[in-house]
Chains A and B, each alone.
Chain A
Amino acid sequence: MENQTPLLEIKGLKTYFFLDEGIVKAVEGADITVPRKSTVGIVGESGCGKTVTAYSILQLIERPGRIESGQILWRRAPENGPEEVIDLATLKPNSRAMRQIRGGEIAMIFQEPLTSLSPVHTVGDQITEAIRLHRPVSAAEAREQAIQMLHRVGIPKPEQRIDTYPFQLSGGMRQRAMIALSLSCHPKLLIADEPTTALDVTTQAQILELMLELQNDFDMSILLITHNLGVVAETCDRVAVMYLGEVVEQADTASLFNEPKHPYTQALMRSIPILGQRNRGRLDPIKGMVPDPYNRPKGCAFHPRCTQRIAGLCDQKSPLLQTLPGSDRAVRCWLYGE
């Protein structure tokens, strides 16, 4: 019997930064569900809170930032024993419980593989360190596992490459090394924050393919943050769309692309060319500016830019994220009922 409960459920997450100039409400209501063995995309304009959401999951938010409220439910199933649910939002950032999950159960890769790896430690040093943190193995065994992992992510001559420094590898190889590092302890969830943005198109495709392959092998889920709707269409099972710190729509990929519900999602679809799909007509940039994060608009955060806003309602009351009847999609918009 397959386990149907979601691996990760983020509910009503709010993460704020308390600056002298005011409070930046970077995440102001994120609801994201990640089923087991699936790929979930987070999309949205720059600054909408994708990275902050991802960092919140691993409690990587630093002062003056803080998770203000919400739950991050992580379901872990030990080999033998009942399923456990942990609310990551309640763990202390540097606590033993949190550190066990970081790297061991949930791993992360980043946009810039060169700066995400230490320039003065060898690739092998950085990978074996992660292995030995989470597994009771000797240095020699850890090295052996690291070599296997490098081999698995497609790095040629891993016995030699393990002793090189990141700056001696090409961009694509670096991201492969980063993937080897993050998957070295076989996590159940991989959070990838724009993992291919810094790479050329061919390498992008290779890295994405590799990630999907490894997902299959390791039975893990992927939370993929990206600007690129084409990437989402090709790789993700589900998508969460974020606007100004809120998840405004969540749906399976096919439904979202065929029938975007939220006016922001619709605008996003019109503004971005989609890979493999002929441009029907002109591209249509979203009108207006993203409001500055100190002064969120009253009511629906999108209303100053929305072409379908309902005067007297949208600029007064915030809509809630609501599941549409008879589907597993959810939308945060007054157009879809109370």
Chain B
Amino acid sequence: MLSFIFRRILAMIPTLFLASIVAFVIIQLPPGDFATSYMANLAAMGDTVSQDTLENLREAYGLDQPVMIQYYKWITGIIFRGDYGLSFEHREPVSSLIWDRIWLTMWLSLVSVLLTWIIAFPIGIYSAVKQYSAGDYIFTLIGFIGVSVPAFLVALVLMYLQFKYLGQTTSGLFSDEYISAAWSWARVKDLLAHLWLPALILGLSGTAELIRILRANLLDELRRPYVITARAKGLPEWKAILKYPVRLALNPFVSTLGWILPGLISGSIILSQVMNLPTTGPLLLRSLQSQDMYLAGSMILVLSVATVLGTFVSDILLALLDPRIRYQ
């Protein structure tokens, strides 16, 4: 197992390197160097910067030097000093802009994955074990709706219902008094109270997808001879099913960890706009529109790293779950 983890970590390095190259290329995409764009941007807003500041910037990011050195300065700045560069739209270091949003996005993803699991697990098992029962048909129908109706539409409907019947609005992830408060237990509770609805909506299509996969996998596994062995040794039916075929059909659950994050980043942009969620989606969209490249590149970098790590964790869990992967 240790050597498996070690090999996985080694395999991660080139992927991470590639992700950093992509992010760096994105930063370099707009014409002219960053200092020039920065100046132009400020000038457009009727502001000026001193020549000194510009020179300092050029110096700090190695803008006069070859691309290789620029990349080196950029990446070591990130790794050793947590310096992601400057956002010229917000005129702040990128690092002070993104972390809150990234954490919130991760939380949202995590809660969303958990909800997805909690809902999909029993329904998927039920649908497979009771194939073609009325319940199976109903869940399949709901599943189709879950996959085909866009999340933002569901969000609008639910927000409307909530407003109409409960008189509250779920907009944003915090109540007004907590928006810019420091982190505290009360703020966490407030966050969780706001988080579950968007998490549920976000997880909707994923849940439907997961139920479908679990049902199909389990139907396959239920036909395997080892299930008969389990029954033939005298296990009660529920135990025979939960311990053996369900265990083997579980792989897609773990794999969700890997793919849910990238899905959320792209899929949640519209939803985040609709529900006014302070996640990375809207900020990323905005930064791309305004060519705020350090901001955009940094977010893409952090989110790719998170995705790679998510895949890593899900690979490890898969290996724990399935010895055939571990010993290959």
| Chain A contact residues, CB within 8 Å of chain B | 55, 58, 60, 94, 99-104, 107-108, 110, 112, 115-121, 126, 129-130, 133-134, 165, 167-168, 178, 181-182
Contacts and interface: CB of A to CB of B under 8 A. Distances in A.
30 contacts: A55-B228, A58-B232, A94-B237, A99-B234, A99-B235, A99-B236, A101-B234, A102-B231, A102-B234, A103-B234, A107-B232, A107-B233, A108-B229, A110-B228, A115-B224, A116-B225, A116-B228, A117-B226, A118-B230, A119-B226, A119-B324, A120-B321, A120-B324, A121-B247, A126-B229, A129-B233, A130-B234, A165-B323, A165-B327, A182-B232
Interface in B260-309: none
Contacts of B225: 110, 112, 115-116
B168 to A, nearest CB: 47
A76 to B, nearest CB: 15
Interface of B: 224-226, 228-237, 243-244, 247-248, 321-324, 327
A102 B232 contact: yes
A103 B233 contact: yes
B244 to A, nearest CB: 5
Contacts of B321: 120
Nearest to A58: B232
A134 B243 CA distance: 18
A236 B232 CA distance: 23
A234 B208 CA distance: 56
B232 A103 contact: yes
Contacts of A60: 228, 231-232
Given A165-B323, A167-B324, A116 B226 contact: yes
A116 B229 contact: yes
A177 B231 CA distance: 17
Nearest to B325: A120
Contacts of B235: 99, 129, 133
Contacts, number: 80
A181 B235 CA distance: 13
B232 A108 contact: yes
A246 B231 CA distance: 26
A3 B233 CA distance: 27
Nearest to B221: A118
Nearest to B240: A94
A165 B321 CA distance: 13
A121 B231 CA distance: 16
A120 B233 contact: no
Nearest to B131: A63
A107 B321 CA distance: 29
Contacts of A168: 327
Nearest to B248: A120
B229 A117 contact: yes
Contacts of A120: 247-248, 321-324
Nearest to A133: B234
Contacts of A118: 226, 229-230, 244, 247-248
Contacts of A102: 231-234
Contacts of B324: 119-120, 165, 167
Given A118-B244, A120-B324, A100 B234 contact: yes
Contacts of B322: 119-120
B322 to A, nearest CB: 5
Contacts of A178: 229
A281 to B, nearest CB: 39
A220 B27 CA distance: 77
A118 B235 CA distance: 14
Given A110-B228, A129-B235, 13 more contacts: A99-B235, A100-B234, A108-B232, A115-B225, A118-B230, A118-B247, A120-B321, A129-B233, A130-B234, A133-B233, A134-B234, A165-B323, A165-B324
Nearest to A119: B324
Contacts of A182: 232-233
Contacts of B230: 118
Contacts of A107: 232-233
A102 to B, nearest CB: 4
Contacts of A126: 229
A8 to B, nearest CB: 16
Nearest to A55: B228
Contacts of A101: 234
Nearest to B323: A165
Contacts of B229: 108, 110, 116-118, 126, 178, 181
Nearest to A99: B234
A134 B224 CA distance: 24
A182 B228 CA distance: 12
B304 to A, nearest CB: 32
Nearest to B247: A120
Q: Which interface residue of A118, A133, A182 has the most chain B CB atoms within 10 A?
A: A118
Contacts of A100: 234
A134 B247 CA distance: 23
A221 B323 CA distance: 36
